[in-house]
Structure 1
Amino acid sequence: MLTKIDNTIKYGKQRGGFGIQILYPGLVKPELNDSGFSTIGRIDHTRITPGTIIPMHPHKDDEILTYLRSGKVKHKDSEGHIETISNQRLMMMNAGSSFYHQERTLKEDDILEGLQIFLRPQVEGLKPKVQFHRLQNTYSINQWRKIAGKSEAYPMQIRSNTWLMDLRLEKGKEISLPNPPAESCVFLFYVFDGKIEVENKMTLETGESVLIESDRPKFFADETSDILLFITQLDAPYFEGGMYSGNLHH
């Protein structure tokens, strides 16, 4: 089963230099009564002008991936880290029981564009920690690359049965889904930028995605496209009360 998630389902916010399009993937399936889908709580597609400060603020029981494609941000947190995040240096904040962070985009840099991804932990109250990972190359051309997941094969760890991969699919190229890392897995194929044909069934443009519950379609790039792939295991436990990743209906 393929369920397209178009941009009309998103919530848009703009405050000063901070622009955000928020996707609650579960809203495409209202019968589930969950704003998230399994362990995927919320996906924020952000555009932030240089010199913008996002003041110190809390998180609790969220697993948060900062995935940038342009621009740089200076990160500071309650665990004592001060780092610069970019499209080659990614960050996973495992917020756990209590965590604070501040972000400031660099004045001399490009507009920051990326995803802030809020995933659900397996249980509440875990010890907070922060992970950083430097990509060998900014883009993975026509090949799935492991970013974060519940496996030592992934460079950053997620504390629930969730896995994230990415790739840049060049115009005219085709790709299939990777093998699922576990039983009962569902895929969310997110087009960060570009235009993708999902066999002959639908077209996905920038910001759109498709929930893939049983089919294993092929994807064709009408134009060079940057993709992020979410994999979640439906029958695995998760905590749905996170500050940002939690279920809005509860």
Structure 2
Amino acid sequence: MDHDMISKSTYFKRRPSKLKTWKYPDWKKGEWQLDHVCMDKNYHKEIYNVKVLRGTDTGSDHYMIKIKIKLTPLAKKNSHQKKKRTYDPHKLIQNGDYEAQTRDIKITDDLEEIIPKLKQIAEQVAPINPRKKHQWWNDECDEAVLDRHQAWLRHQNEKTEKSYLELTKQRKTTQKIIRRVKRQYQKDILLMIETNSEKTNSRDYYKIFGRQLQRYDPPTLMLKDKDNNLAHSNKIQKF
């Protein structure tokens, strides 16, 4: 059809006698399908059914058409996206430097001139710390990763054996630093759990212990016999 329309009155499977919508005044000439239901092809699935009600008395020579439709409202596109906050409001409340620095700002009726100055001071006094990859990640890990990236860039520019050896060495050093920091963090957690257990601080004990238990991944246990083969049966074997 024209204008990208779809005829829904003939879309559904019906017997030809169930599609007639108009009866000729002379009953000998039969009935005809004159009335149609059309819908845009992009939204034609919103019409679930089209049915001709032949038994309804409308006082007209046209039959009534029943349409089952479900209209889906269009989602409004939010053109005004929320800007990310560049300062931490909780730190501003606890920090007294913000109030001391904002006293020098002259109060005028022009808010567009005052607001940028207030935001600039807030960003300097209470900046938002970037989200860490892990709880144990610290500045030492960031520096090690940065050094590894710099070594990789030097190797991409030079492509020599010396640069490749330096890159390999820096990779191993970075891996050792990350592992050491992670292990130290885990030792500190175990020490905190032990300390809370000795001091009967049950609230902090179960809080820290439960948090670590959620991340626990049990190792896969394998049983071997004397010949160093996997034991697949339930029979008692000597190990």
Which bracket does the TM-score occupy, shorter chain normalised? under 0.3
Structure exhibiting the larger radius of gyration computed from Cα positions: 2
TM-score by length of 1: 0.16
* Greater RCO (CA < 8 Å, at least 6 residues apart): 1
Bigger strand share: 1
Which structure has more helix as a fraction of its residues?
2
The TM-score with structure 2 as length reference comes to 0.17
